[in-house]
Amino acid sequence: MRTRALPTFLALAAGIVPVVPAISQDYPAKPVRVIVAFTPGGGNDIVARILAKHLSDMHKRQFIVENRPGAGTVIGVDAVAKSPADGYTLLVTNNSLAVNHTLYPKLPYDTLKDITPIVKAGSTPNVLVVHPSVPAKTTAELIALVKAKPDKVAYASAGTGSTAFLAAELFKMLAGVKMLHVPYKGTSPALTSILGGETQAMVGALPAAVPHIKAGKLRALGVTSAKRASGMKEIPTMIEGGVKGFDFETWYGVFGPGNLPGNLVGLLNGSVNKIVAMPDVKEQFSRQGIDPEGGATADFDKQFRAEIVTLGKVIKASGAKPDS
């Protein structure tokens, strides 16, 4: 008998058979919860609902989106982290998951152990928008306006640590300006504030802002990517507007609880990759200013871990503290 086969033989002889999870063969056998740790209407919600519809069609079981906002996404993420690692509770979230690792001195979960990255579904630049009453028509004009009136222009965000907050803080650092931060509990209330003139500016994810830009209710000054956004190429980049080195994306990823079996991670990764390659999904994403991504789990995991480090530095430099 070959030596390498001996452990298996002994296990079988003793009646101890190693169990290899066969979840991917019959998964899903019941509805799957897709938790979005944000209020409805933002980019995370949009991506989650597109994916959930096609996952439901593909697997002949319901994938049900459940919005669980609060505490800067910690409530929703914690619900997933404490769920069984059986694939029946998934998470759709963005860079905020990496941000909170540094922003919160104590979390009820371990970001690196209790959450499993599965796939990067899409990405989008953020967009600098202002209320139509603001006289600035370009990024350069807004910079001049803010420099003339430090801390007089208020910018909205979906909360301290959100990608909207990070993008605005990067803008402030790179442009050398001072703006007043007004945090809200989600993208929708932040947009409501700027639409109503309560705040004057916002650097938010493009998908949630697109309808208001197209309706003329918000004025887009620039996107935060190095290249103009697909589907919204009329908006210049902020680099074109004079903010050198401004390249910041919001990504949308699918995650599961920690220790999710590898065969299930592979199944879900493959399903999402097929979905984001569909022509109709590409069109849906494009209309919202989202670029479909996909790719290997290992690549997304590497990016996620690297971003925990890089965004941690931004948080420390900004001196940001969690919203009370």
| Six-digit token string for 102 | 């540094």
| Six-digit token string for 34 | 């897709």
At residue 9, the pLDDT reads 39
Domains (range + CATH), the chain: 31-124+249-318 (3.40.190.150), 125-223 (3.40.190.10)
Count CB-CB contacts under 10 A for residue 185. Answer: 17
At residue 185, the pLDDT reads 82
In 3D space, the residue among 128, 127, 176 whose CA is nearest the CA of residue 150 turns out to be 176
At residue 250, the pLDDT reads 87
Contact 267, 58 (CB under 8 A): no
| Six-digit token string for 32 | 């799957």
Count CB-CB contacts under 10 A for residue 181. Answer: 17
Count CB-CB contacts under 10 A for residue 247. Answer: 14
At residue 24, the pLDDT reads 52
With both helix axes pointing from N to C terminus, report the angle between 262-276 and 279-287 in degrees, rounded to the nearest 10. Answer: 80
SS3 for 282? helix
At residue 8, the pLDDT reads 42
Cβ-based neighbours of 306, under 8 Å, separated by 6 or more? none
What type of residue is 208?
Answer: A
Provide the 8-state DSSP code for 185: S
For the chain, the average pLDDT equals 89
- Using alpha carbons only, what angle is made at residue 241 by residues 238 and 243, rounded to the nearest 5 degrees? 60
| Six-digit token string for 243 | 């903010």
In 3D space, the residue among 118, 101, 109, 107 whose CA is nearest the CA of residue 32 turns out to be 118
List, for the chain, all residue ranges whose pLDDT scores fall below the cut of 50.
1-22
At residue 66, the pLDDT reads 98
